[in-house]
Amino acid sequence: MEWATTLVLMFGGLIALLAIGLPVAFAFLVVNISGAWLVFGGEMGMIQLVRNAVTSLSSFTLVPIPLFVLMGAIMFHSGVAQRAIGAIDVAIHKVPARLSVVTVAAGTVFAALSGSSMANAALLGKTMLPEMLKRGYHPTLAMGPIMASGAIAILIPPSALAVLLGSLAKISIAKLLVAGIVPAIIMAFGFLFVIVYQAVRYPDRCPAEAPLDLPFRERFLPLMRDVLPLSLVLVAVVGTLLAGIATPTESAAFGCLAAALICVFYRSFSLEMMRKAIFETVALSTTILFIVVASQTFSQILSFSGATQQIVNYVSNSSAGPMIILLGIIGLLLVLGCFVDQISMMMLTIPLVFPIAQSAGIDLIVLGTTYLLAMEIALLTPPFGLLLFVMKSAAPAHISTADVYRAVLPFLVVKLAVLALVVALPGLVLWLPNLIG
């Protein structure tokens, strides 16, 4: 079969199956079975499909995924994250739109503990949104910070999506995990700027709140008690990676141990909590690993048919420079992110994009970080951004879908600005990874 025919059938069939609502994992399974039968040859194709599955799941680089998921589940189900949000709420005062600022600070902290954007946004939606709307915050200052800081978990370790991307694209997972830290910090400060600017420029969008009349000790004691110990998780994960004393798998294991020890410290460790965390980890990890199998087979079929090499040769022989190619990739990801979920974005594009990037001399850590940023933006772009649906389900009935879209727009501008900054100044991304060596 000609490579162009294979390419059209594989992508066309996949898009058609996704369009009729088939879950992404099953859509890839159907396409892979068909492709393996046609390209590899009947029964031999089915045997190769099984071999691919075994080989894909035998990769040791995938072990951090269930460990990071377990770590976040422990922090969520133990109530430790909720305690941290309460402590940050008490500590921050004398700022415009205080609860919005608290949301960004708490969302950034919890992102470093959970690694899950969905869990981050759901937790903030349950704890912060009702109170802000009750006090009269405008939807932009109530829902916008929740969605924006919820999505930031994709960039900050422990990000399961970063591990998955690194595994699928053959990028150093340790370097990719830490590469997003600086852009994430810049982004968080950008969110704070948007909040304070809107609160000062449009004072009717947030209530005039009197600062908490608490002595210094009562404001900062909860911060020391309920937030500072959580730095143990950051040291266990990020610190061991930067120090070069642990692999991503080992740092993920240290993170799980640190999360369990923190739960013991707060006396919130129980067998029931662990049962819930383990069940959630098994369910999510099974889905992710199933997708890994599908993605690896999809890539191999395209490679075996010659489609990947032909497209790489076409781009290599064109006059487009590395920057033009990188901008084209980003444009593709941003458009694709409006219509499909993050994992589908990776599985659709990685088999073709990363070989092209390598042939063009694009740094794969920079490309991987732009992937994570594009996937983060995709969580918030209409019409199918997942966090938009999470927020709509958490909001009162009188909040329309259009209100949710409008609320996130200023924060999307910040995310796009950070993406542009990463492309223009790749040193922001490469600084921390270079410390690993």
SS3 string, 263-286, reads: HHHCCCCCHHHHHHHHHHHHHHHH
The tokens of 298 are what?
């999809």
> Distance between CA atoms of 165 and 80, rounded to whole angstroms?
29
What pLDDT, on the 0 to 100 scale, is given for residue 191?
A: 93
Q: How confident is the model over 401-405, as a mean pLDDT?
A: 84
The tokens of 58 are what?
């035998």
Predicted structure pTM score: 0.75
Q: Which of 83-87, 161-165, 279-283, 428-432 has the lowest mean pLDDT?
A: 83-87
DSSP string, 62-75: GTHHHHHHHHHHHH
Q: How confident is the model over 347-365, as a mean pLDDT?
A: 84
How many Cα atoms occupy the beta-carbon half-sphere of 105 within 13 Å? 19
Q: How many whole angstroms from its chain centre is CA 431?
A: 21
Q: Does the pLDDT value for residue 361 go beyond 80?
A: yes
> Distance between CA atoms of 246 and 394, rounded to whole angstroms?
39
What pLDDT, on the 0 to 100 scale, is given for residue 370?
A: 93
Banded pLDDT at 366 (limits 50, 70, 90) = very high
pLDDT tens per residue across span 49-83:
777 777 766 766 677 778 877 887 887 788 787 77
The domain segmentation of the chain, as residue ranges, is 3-436
The three-point CA angle 216-220-222 to 5° equals 135
> Distance between CA atoms of 288 and 161, rounded to whole angstroms?
9
> Distance between CA atoms of 41 and 239, rounded to whole angstroms?
49
Q: How confident is the model over 149-165, as a mean pLDDT?
A: 83
Work out the mean pLDDT of the chain and round it to a whole number.
80
Q: Which one of 20-29, 193-202, 296-305, 345-354 scores highest in mean pLDDT?
A: 193-202
Residue 94's contacts (CB-CB under 8 Å, 6 or more residues apart) are 211
Whole-Å CA distances, 95 to 53, 168, 196 = 54, 44, 8
3-class DSSP assignment, residue 403? helix
Banded pLDDT at 213 (limits 50, 70, 90) = low
Q: What is the dihedral of CA 113, 233, 419, 346, to 10 degrees?
A: -70
What pLDDT, on the 0 to 100 scale, is given for residue 90?
A: 74
The tokens of 229 are what?
């110990």
> Distance between CA atoms of 113 and 328, rounded to whole angstroms?
33
DSSP H/E element including 101: helix 98-114
